Chains A and B, each alone.
Chain A
Amino acid sequence: QKEVEQDPGPLSVPEGAIVSLNCTYSNSAFQYFMWYRQYSRKGPELLMYTYSSGNKEDGRFTAQVDKSSKYISLFIRDSQPSDSATYLCAMRGNTPLVFGKGTRLSVIA
């Protein structure tokens, strides 16, 4: 079992939809959880950073962590075509980041 599992998609939604992206993990030592957005042939951009169970909101983005289930989510409200990218979850304990494979999202106008 890989440390971090993420459905690679692709996921295609109409503009304005609510998008749900998810990752599961197996290492209970992971304490810090991030979501990155990566456009094609670009470096990842940090979107959200959380370290506790519960929800964290930033504009149209909400990150959710459930440590008991080892499950994290990223919700995107009112999705826009500009949100079309690959979204990578990442997490760590006292070790370097471990990334999921990324989910390719397309928001269709």
Chain B
Amino acid sequence: GAVVSQHPSWVICKSGTSVKIECRSLDFQATTMFWYRQFPKQSLMLMATSNEGSKATYEQGVEKDKFLINHASLTLSTLTVTSAHPEDSSFYICSASTSAVGEEQYFGPGTRLTVT
């Protein structure tokens, strides 16, 4: 149980385009979903927290107009990187939890974004 999927697993896009990443909880309903970013050999940095049906809460320094998060249902959240630049290239990981503060978060496999 507690499986989280992400799609796509790997995407290459051109600078200036937008990319959408999907995060789904497959066998449970996620009250809260979290989006993280991870650079090589670095830890996970929380970007935003989203609850179904409400606006996401972004961490300090994360541009909400650039990283659009939609939590349309209890099993689906999407992250759209708008007007992507090469410095947005990173590993994006989502996690899902049945609690508001993320007790026992279950992580997706991650999406590797490369912007050329």
**How many pairs, one residue from A and one from B, have CB atoms within 8 Å of each other in the complex?**
48
Total interface residues in chain B, CB < 8 Å:
23
Q: Which residue of A lies closest to B105 (CB)?
A: A97
Q: Quick one: which of A41, A44, A92, A104 contacts B102, CB cutoff 8 A?
A: A92
Would you mind naming 23 contact pairs between A and B with Cβ atoms under 8 Å apart? Answer: A8-B41, A32-B103, A41-B91, A42-B109, A42-B110, A43-B4, A43-B6, A43-B95, A43-B107, A43-B109, A43-B110, A46-B105, A46-B106, A49-B104, A92-B102, A94-B101, A95-B101, A96-B46, A96-B49, A96-B101, A97-B102, A99-B43, A102-B43
Interface residues of B, Cβ cutoff 8 Å to A = 4, 6, 34, 41-44, 46, 49, 91, 93, 95, 101-110, 112
Interface residues of A, Cβ cutoff 8 Å to B = 6, 8, 32, 36, 41-46, 49, 88, 92, 94-97, 99-102, 104
